[in-house]
Amino acid sequence: MKIGFYVNTAKRNAKAALKPLTEKARSLGLVVTENLSEAEVLITLGGDGTILRAVHEFDSVSILGFNLGGLGYLSAVGEENFELALKMLATGAYKVSPRTMLEVKKQGGRSYVALNDIVITREMSGHAAILETEVNGRAATRYMADGLVVATPTGSTAYSLAAGGPVLLADSPVFAVTPINPHALGVRPIVLNDDVSLTITSRRRVNGVAEHIGVYADGESVFKLGGDESLEIVKYAKAANFVELEGYDPYKVLSRKLGWNEREV
């Protein structure tokens, strides 16, 4: 197998880990290439941000995250298991799991892709945004809120979760729409099938003023939405491929990362 290491050079421990991991991989019979687009598996050394950058830069390569960051929801392997993970790659003790991505575009504009989420949020104002949503061309609801997070299952444990959204398992054929600080108690997140088209329109206030609405894909600003302008979000035609090592249990990962099984003393 041909592998490559995608390193977050801003992290000293990531750069320090590269040489011994490269030597270990080669001793196991793995071919380490510096031409990362040729790799069958790309091992990221960093945190979840490093994985997101790798996915956007190398969308045809399977990703395995070695976590050298903080909490690391996407990074499956902790430092204590780096060598074990390499051995499992060398022996084929893994599978590739496709992860849904989202595509967002404004009418007449280019499209952008996100693995985690698309965030539509008010900017530079203390007023709430007014966002109308349509599902497959049918009116769904009008949100008066600071914004919306449209999250994939992979991204459901990121900003969407912090905003009160649901946890979705990675292979769920759905995405979640979570309002940010809604101005009505009855407004709650909604889960939609991932084969729908979601249209979101920014409406003007009663006095005709339009909020400044920013649109972000995986945390990167992609465009602005003016008054009465719409965007469309759909499932992207390609999936991001993640390596799941043998014995991977998504419930254990969630339990460990979210502290669900911690006992009070």
Residues belonging to the active site: 48
Beta bridge partners of 45: 7, 66
Please, what sign has the CA dihedral across residues 252, 256, 260, 261? Answer: positive
Contacts of 210 (CB under 8 A, 6+ apart): 202, 204, 226, 227, 228
Q: Let me know how long the chain is.
A: 265
Cα(64)–Cα(214) distance, rounded to whole angstroms? 31
Rounded to an integer, what is the distance from CA 108 to the centroid of its chain? 25
Which residue shows structure tokens 């003790």? 93
Cα(151)–Cα(148) distance, rounded to whole angstroms? 9
